[in-house]
């Protein structure tokens, strides 16, 4: 291939160029990756990372197998060089990198071009003069320094900043706060510490004719006229479409901008010239007003349609098109409302304080979802296919929002594209977490460039819901620093320099359509005044007694307190909470040898990073064993645990039992938070920790690394339905209530049927039918009793609760029937009188459905299991049945290597199977 030659049509389409430009995708170059000190040189790729290239070429084994994260650290500690060569060009030539990870020295023709130190920035360099002086075939060389070694050197530089002990969340490699690199690359409590290096995002050579320009990045901001960040706009105001293009080359002073808006059928719905044109350096900006009736709104999944449009922005000089770019976007407003509780809200019984909820197109809604972490330690192998499968699981799981956790990497556009199409809101965050950071001018300027680039890059996506400054800063890192060093204002001042003085202007200065908070868990602002240089003044702990502010997180690893409702936080929104569990046997088999398939094998214990090593140690048995013990104790405390003679089957059953506890605990919290929509806290969001796995290990995930659903994801799917019933038990007093909760936008009416059963299936009393009417985004009580006075022994009694309700989904006039089922039982099922439920399983080849029936007794926690080699999920799983009850279950196959024979290997079990030997 030729490094400096004309581009293919596909390259032109991707990069939004015009015909006079030449754009070469560097993925087509012939690359080598080498380390002279290690005497290694192999073919490389772009985008890629060193570990992936070495693995593909057989130099190293699969990094994810066994203890690869420890055994392959020599790769991380080494420097590596990527190199390609070919012929030159006389055109103006730029190198354009969308992601270099992380410390690099770049050379062309042996001459130094630049050094970089930020994984998250877009870098671009004019190499025209170097190429003209190049006397031989030009070479492009990118040397990547070891991030671990370089940050260690930075940390000991004279005058370098230090922080109080405990402020840096130290997982494996230290000093991550000094580097603008994926923070979890240095280890986290759910993932490995590979700290990879490479050209991790697309890279290009851009050649321009004289006077030519190229769009390297762009901003599209669509908002209501008069809208300000963090404040609900007037939904009757017209739309403002603001476009701003970042260009390579020189922008003529006479340049203008044209726009054409097209629907998804490429039918033009509006066009014209942008007004208020400004040219600043290599940036050109303009805006236009669009009638609110012109286009249809975009809504999250479950709340309406995902109406999308193409926006073609062209840079014009008279009648000549200099460059153009097309973005797919939509008309919607999304606001994080943190305004003070109004008098009308107080009159409704809402507690004083501040709001903390999202509004889409002026409508409050309940945010149901989870936290998205990096789906792989090596981003270049995160494929569109895998992300479509993952986001389909999100939608199938009745989730409408993901919090894209800080301390990973900024989400690539193709993932936002998927979220746009599927209607999944992405609460996005800048990549800072569990640490405080330097505030020297060089660091802050580096962050400013990073933030501006990424805010502008993704702002057109309607799925973008929020920018947060980072993870666990206001609620954890600041209190830690101030607790060790009380009375010192330095820590708050430095925190505000980065998260208010740098990051807030990166949002507010580029967009009016997106809200900003400095920290993922926050009590919100005390003042929001746009006449101030920095409009936001944080509340911190300036709280009034009896008032409720902000969002919450919750982690309690004392499983004895797991179902204590009084231990759950009361807030306006729950942004993370959880407990860890083991992945399935099928997932473990992907990563470890058969000899290690037992619960406390050395490999399994060391792949468990909860609790973390606290340094680059490879013998973290002491801390990891604590996390293993927490899972074991929780399983033993609440369920019969398996003692099967087959060691692999026993291991599998133990893994599954930890998943049952995890799901049971999350369900208790989610129902509690959802009920809060109708309580004084007016709680309008539940995002559990975490959606998916980065690798095969014990974690908080509901979806395993290859996409297999844990018990948690099935239970979350069930409890995130629009209208649910759930029990709430104070096991100290015996008080038992049940509530119907709805997140519909109009009232729903129906009947709750409550029936007590013994575990042998005998109905203990006639069913009780309770009619109900539940308001919009509200809850209503349908049961109030006390288990001490019911006359039932809870070791042999279970309350089955069913509801059938009618109502309408948001933005729909169609009346729909909603059904839900919930079983109340004693917390400790190890003491329950579980009996063989006589489960039967059959498969209908015509319908493609499975049927499960309990023929003898109550079946608790029924589980249908798909064998290894097939990735799929059932429409329903992890449910209960009473005898004589059967359920027909559909399924979705996402990947199958069995030729369809997997259906013969599906098994069914219930919790009773743990009692057999």
Contact 279, 253 (CB under 8 A): yes
Angle, vertex CA 308, rays to CA 305 and CA 314, nearest 5: 170
d(CA 435, CA 444): 16
| Residue 49 per-residue DSSP state | -
For 188, phi then psi, to 5°, come to: -150, 175
Spell out the residues 6+ positions from residue 243 whose beta carbon is closer than 8 angstroms to its own: 218, 219, 220, 221, 257, 259, 274, 285, 286, 287, 311, 313
283 burial class (0-12, 13-18, 19+ CB within 10 angstroms)? middle
Alpha-carbon distance 809 to 721, whole Å?
11
* CA dist list (Å): 903 to 842, 862, 893, 899: 10, 17, 11, 10
Cβ count within 10 A of residue 45:
19
Dihedral, CA atoms, 81, 82, 88, 91, nearest 10 degrees? -100
Contact 902, 867 (CB under 8 A): yes
Q: Is the dihedral of CA 292, 295, 300, 302 positive or negative?
A: positive
Gap between the Cα atoms of 224 and 292, Å rounded: 9
DSSP type of residue 897: S
- Write the DSSP string, 823-834: EE--S-TTSS--
CA atoms within 13 A on the CB side of 684: 23
Tokens at 127, concatenated: 């190499």
Alpha helices in 814-904 (DSSP H): none
Any bridge partners for residue 621, and if so which? none
The answer for residues whose C-beta is within 8 angstroms of residue 738's C-beta and 6 or more apart is 725, 726, 727, 728, 752, 754, 781, 782, 783, 801, 822, 824
Q: What is the distance between the alpha carbons of residues 172 and 169, in angstroms, rounded to a whole number?
A: 9
Beta carbons of 687 and 399 less than 8 angstroms apart? no
* 472 counts as catalytic: yes
Residue 481, C-beta contacts closer than 8 angstroms, at least 6 positions apart: 163, 164, 167, 436, 491
For 540-646, where are the alpha helices, taking DSSP H only?
A: 585-588, 602-607, 621-638
* DSSP code of residue 220: E
Instruction: Give the number of other CB atoms < 10 A from CB of residue 32.
Output: 15
Please state, in angstroms and rounded to a whole number, the distance separating the CA atoms of residues 808 and 817. 8
Largest CA-CA distance found in the chain, in angstroms, rounded: 95
Residues 6+ apart with CB under 8 A from 392: 422
3-state helix, strand, coil in the chain (%, to 5): 25, 30, 45
Q: Collect all residues with Cβ–Cβ distance below 8 Å to 689 and sequence separation of at least 6.
A: 370, 371, 553, 555, 576, 577, 578, 700
Q: Nearest CA to 327 among 250, 246, 413?
A: 413
Structure tokens at 318: 């008279």
| Phi and psi angles of residue 353, each rounded to the nearest 5 degrees, phi first | 130, -135
The answer to whether 331 and 309 have CB atoms below 8 angstroms apart is yes
Over the Cα atoms of the chain, what is R_g?
A: 29
| CB contact at 8 A, 653 and 913 | yes
From 107, 429, 431, 472, the catalytic residue: 472
Would you please indicate which residues are annotated as catalytic (active-site) residues?
Answer: 472
């Amino acid at each position: 291939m030729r490094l400096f030659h004309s581009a293919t049509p596909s390259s032109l389409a991707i990069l939004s160029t015009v015909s006079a430009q030449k754009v070469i995708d560097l993925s087509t170059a012939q690359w080598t990756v080498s380390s002279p000190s290690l005497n290694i040189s192999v073919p490389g790729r772009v985008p890629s990372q060193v570990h992936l290239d070495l693995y593909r070429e057989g130099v190293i084994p699969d990094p994810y197998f066994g203890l690869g994260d420890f055994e392959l650290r020599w790769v991380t500690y080494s420097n590596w060089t990527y190199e390609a060569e070919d012929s030159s060009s006389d055109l103006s030539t730029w190198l354009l990198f969308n992601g270099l990870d992380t410390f690099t020295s770049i050379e062309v023709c042996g001459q130094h071009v630049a050094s970089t130190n930020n994984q998250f920035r877009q870098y671009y360099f004019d190499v025209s003069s170097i190429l003209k002086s190049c006397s031989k075939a030009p070479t492009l060389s990118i040397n990547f320094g070891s991030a671990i070694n370089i940050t260690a050197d930075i940390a000991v530089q004279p005058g370098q900043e230090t922080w109080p002990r405990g402020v840096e969340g130290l997982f494996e490699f230290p000093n991550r706060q000094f580097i603008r690199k994926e923070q979890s690359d240095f280890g986290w409590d759910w993932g490995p510490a590979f700290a990879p290096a490479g050209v991790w995002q697309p890279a290009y050579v851009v050649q321009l004719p004289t006077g030519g320009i190229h769009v390297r990045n762009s901003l599209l901001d669509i908002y209501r006229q008069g809208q300000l960040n963090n404040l609900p706009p007037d939904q009757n105001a017209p739309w403002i479409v603001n476009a701003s293009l970042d260009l390579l080359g020189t922008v003529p002073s006479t340049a203008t901008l044209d726009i054409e808006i097209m629907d998804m059928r490429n039918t033009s719905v509006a066009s014209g010239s942008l007004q208020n044109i400004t040219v600043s350096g290599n940036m050109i900006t303009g805006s236009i007003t669009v009638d609110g009736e012109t286009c249809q709104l975009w809504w999250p999944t479950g709340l309406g349609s995902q109406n999308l449009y193409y926006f073609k922005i062209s840079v014009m000089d008279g009648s000549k098109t200099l460059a153009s770019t097309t973005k797919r976007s939509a008309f919607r407003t999304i606001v994080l409302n943190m305004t003070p509780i109004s008098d009308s809200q107080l009159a409704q019984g809402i507690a004083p304080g501040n709001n903390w909820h999202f509004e889409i197109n002026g409508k409050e809604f309940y945010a149901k979802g989870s936290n998205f972490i990096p789906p792989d330690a090596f981003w270049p192998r995160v494929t569109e296919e895998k992300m479509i499968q993952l986001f389909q699981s999100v939608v199938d799981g009745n989730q409408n929002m993901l919090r894209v956790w800080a301390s990973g990497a900024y989400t690539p556009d193709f993932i936002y594209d998927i979220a746009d199409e599927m209607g999944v809101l992405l609460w996005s965050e800048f990549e800072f977490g569990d640490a405080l950071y330097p505030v020297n001018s060089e660091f802050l300027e580096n962050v400013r460039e990073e933030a501006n680039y990424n805010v502008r890059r993704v702002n057109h996506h309607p799925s973008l819901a929020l920018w947060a400054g980072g993870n666990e800063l206001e609620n954890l890192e600041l209190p830690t620093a101030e607790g060790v060093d009380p009375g010192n204002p330095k820590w708050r001042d430095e925190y505000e320099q980065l998260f208010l003085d740098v990051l807030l202007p990166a949002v507010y200065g580029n967009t009016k359509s997106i809200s900003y908070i400095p920290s993922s868990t926050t009590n919100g602002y005390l003042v929001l005044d746009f006449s101030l240089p920095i409009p936001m003044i944080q509340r911190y702990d300036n709280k009034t007694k009896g008032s409720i502010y902000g969002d919450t997180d919750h982690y309690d690893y004392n499983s004895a307190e797991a179902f204590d409702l009084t231990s759950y936080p009361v807030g306006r929104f729950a942004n993370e909470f959880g407990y860890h569990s083991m992945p399935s046997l099928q997932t473990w088999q992907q990563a470890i040898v058969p000899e290690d398939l037992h619960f406390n094998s050395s490999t399994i214990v060391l792949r468990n990073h909860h609790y973390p090593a606290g340094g680059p140690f490879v013998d973290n048995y002491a801390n990891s064993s604590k996390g293993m013990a927490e899972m074991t104790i929780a399983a033993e405390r609440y369920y019969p645990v398996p003692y099967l003679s087959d060691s692999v089957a026993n291991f599998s059953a133990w893994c599954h039992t930890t998943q049952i506890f995890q799901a049971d605990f999350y369900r208790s919290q989610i129902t509690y938070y959802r009920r809060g929509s109708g309580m004084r806290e007016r709680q309008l969001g539940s995002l559990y920790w975490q959606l998916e796995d980065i690798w095969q290990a014990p974690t908080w995930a509901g979806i395993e690394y290859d996409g297999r659903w844990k018990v948690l994801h099935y239970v979350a799917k069930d409890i995130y339905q629009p209208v649910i019933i759930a029990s709430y038990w104070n096991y100290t007093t015996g008080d038992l209530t049940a509530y119907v909760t709805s997140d519909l936008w109009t009232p729903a009416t129906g009947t709750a049927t409550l029936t007590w059963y013994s575990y042998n299936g005998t109905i203990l009393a006639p069913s009780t039918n309770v009619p109900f009417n539940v308001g919009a985004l509200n809850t209503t009580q349908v049961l109030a009793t006390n288990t001490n006075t019911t006359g039932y022994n809870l070791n042999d009694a279970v309350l089955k609760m069913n509801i059938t309700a009618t109502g309408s989904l948001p933005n729909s006039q169609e009346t729909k029937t909603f059904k839900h089922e919930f079983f109340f039982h004693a917390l400790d099922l190890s003491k329950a009188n579980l009996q063989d439920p006589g489960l039967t399983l059959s498969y209908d080849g015509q319908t493609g459905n499975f049927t499960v029936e309990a023929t003898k007794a109550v079946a608790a926690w029924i589980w249908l299991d798909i064998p290894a080699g097939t990735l799929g999920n059932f429409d329903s799983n992890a449910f209960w049945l009473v005898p004589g009850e059967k359920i027909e279950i559909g399924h979705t196959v996402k990947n199958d290597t069995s030729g369809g024979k997997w259906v013969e290997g599906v098994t069914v079990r219930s919790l009773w199977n743990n009692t057999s030997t």
